[in-house]
Amino acid sequence: MEIWKSSRWPARHAVRRALVFNPYLPPEVGAKIVPLLNSTDLAELASDSSVPPSLREQATRLLTQGPIGG
């Protein structure tokens, strides 16, 4: 949680990815990170059974919707 609250670390892709794939991250925090991931990460997240189902579903929705406005 402290890493996510920091102004420095969440800007780094590797940190966002590590946080969202952490099964102990609260889902409400993960839900804020998922839209910041790239399509490769979203696809991996959508099939990762170690993360909460709500995050997998969110990743799947984002993958099927495609880019905003597209």
Residues belonging to the chain: 70
- What pLDDT, on a 0 to 100 scale, did the predictor assign at position 45? 97
What span, in angstroms and rounded, lies between the C-alpha atoms of 46 and 40?
Answer: 10
Tens digit of each residue's pLDDT (9 = 90 or more) over 28-70? 999 999 999 999 999 999 999 999 999 999 999 999 986 554 4
**What are the domain boundaries of the chain?**
2-65
- What pLDDT, on a 0 to 100 scale, did the predictor assign at position 68? 56
**pTM of the predicted structure, to 2 decimals:** 0.79
- What pLDDT, on a 0 to 100 scale, did the predictor assign at position 6? 63
Q: Which of 13, 1, 23, 36 is nearest to 58 (CA)?
A: 36
Section 12-40 average pLDDT: 92
